[in-house]
Structure 1
């Protein structure tokens, strides 16, 4: 079953963010765009490269009015330890959510039950708290922050303009106004 159109469930969890422990809940996401990025675990191999890539593109997401939330089944204490010990993770300025019970991973259907870890799932949530785009990868396949950013920009454009974005669309490219006159002509 697709998660598109699903309103995110109520949740409350701790996060490590800018040198502090903070509580984050579903209400924290409302009123702005959000990118929720699940990864398997702290102190691993592909995960720090992905979180660093997100950190290096964080200003671009913020310029779009979007907050990034990384999530693993580690605790907020482990997130702090990783942040303090890794040069790559030290660049992270977005909230790192703790999901030690796996509640969030299960709600977003990315939990690997037999391992207690999450798959690599990227979710774009609109300001109303509804999932509008997502993709899920196996644990060995790293993602690219710029592609997630492009999908966010397309989701925002569709929501704001009612037109649709064709393949390979980038901001500023031509879009399509759906019309019966276009049926069979594209």
Structure 2
């Protein structure tokens, strides 16, 4: 599995970017959001139970990520057609403001090292990537446990301070100084 300090792998994937007829899909690459922080999160499968709770919460908090100059990118091993059908059928997913990447060939999941060994789907992984495409944070949950979007924001805030941040630090609190 790739970890802190590794470069985000190159990728070129189809993504669902909206529901407007004829404008649903767009190619997204590792270079699509140059100069921005990226929060790449992967989920196991469309049309499941835990996954839409995470996708919806990232959508609700998208403005918070944008305020931090970070682009949210979601991905699974499903096709872009499956993503579109899921968005159209699930009320909490209709207005997602970030791209849903289709890692259908499992190239990105494999390169990141987060493909579930038995099930062949992406693990519930989150990567915070800096503007130079260097991975600065990684977390991975088992398939049945959803992640905490608030904590992803907290870690992003801490990374963006470029300071020493103590345990449970949140934005606005003092950072540590080397004596």
Q: TM-score, normalised by structure 2?
A: 0.94
Correspondence for 2:154 among 146, 150, 153:
150
Question: What corresponds to 1:100 in structure 2?
Answer: 104
Cα shift at 1:116: 2.0
Correspondence for 1:136 among 140, 143, 149:
140
1:55-87 Cα offsets, whole Å, 9 max, x none, are 111110111111100000001111110000001
Establish whether residue 30 from structure 1 lines up as the match of residue 38 from structure 2: no
Question: What corresponds to 1:169 in structure 2?
Answer: 169
Does the CA contact (< 8 Å) of 1:5 and 1:130 recur in 2?
A: yes
Does the CA contact (< 8 Å) of 2:2 and 2:112 recur in 1?
A: no
Question: What corresponds to 1:110 in structure 2?
Answer: 114
Establish whether residue 12 from structure 1 lines up as the match of residue 16 from structure 2: no
After superposing on structure 2, the runs of 4+ consecutive aligned residues of structure 1 that deviate more than 3 Å are none
Q: How many residues align?
A: 175
Query: Which is worse superposed, 131-140 or 90-99?
Result: 90-99
Establish whether residue 57 from structure 1 lines up as the match of residue 61 from structure 2: yes
Cα shift at 1:2: 5.7
Correspondence for 1:86 among 79, 84, 90:
90
Cα shift at 1:92: 1.2
Query: CA separation in 2, counterparts of 1:26 and 1:54?
Result: 20
Secondary structure, in 3 states, of the residue corresponding to 1:124?
A: strand
Secondary structure, in 3 states, of the residue corresponding to 2:140?
A: strand
Cα shift at 1:114: 3.0
Which structure has greater helix proportion? 1
Query: CA separation in 2, counterparts of 1:47 and 1:75?
Result: 15
Secondary structure, in 3 states, of the residue corresponding to 1:107?
A: helix
Cα shift at 1:144: 1.6
Does the CA contact (< 8 Å) of 1:38 and 1:119 recur in 2?
A: yes
Secondary structure, in 3 states, of the residue corresponding to 1:141?
A: coil
Does the CA contact (< 8 Å) of 1:29 and 1:129 recur in 2?
A: no
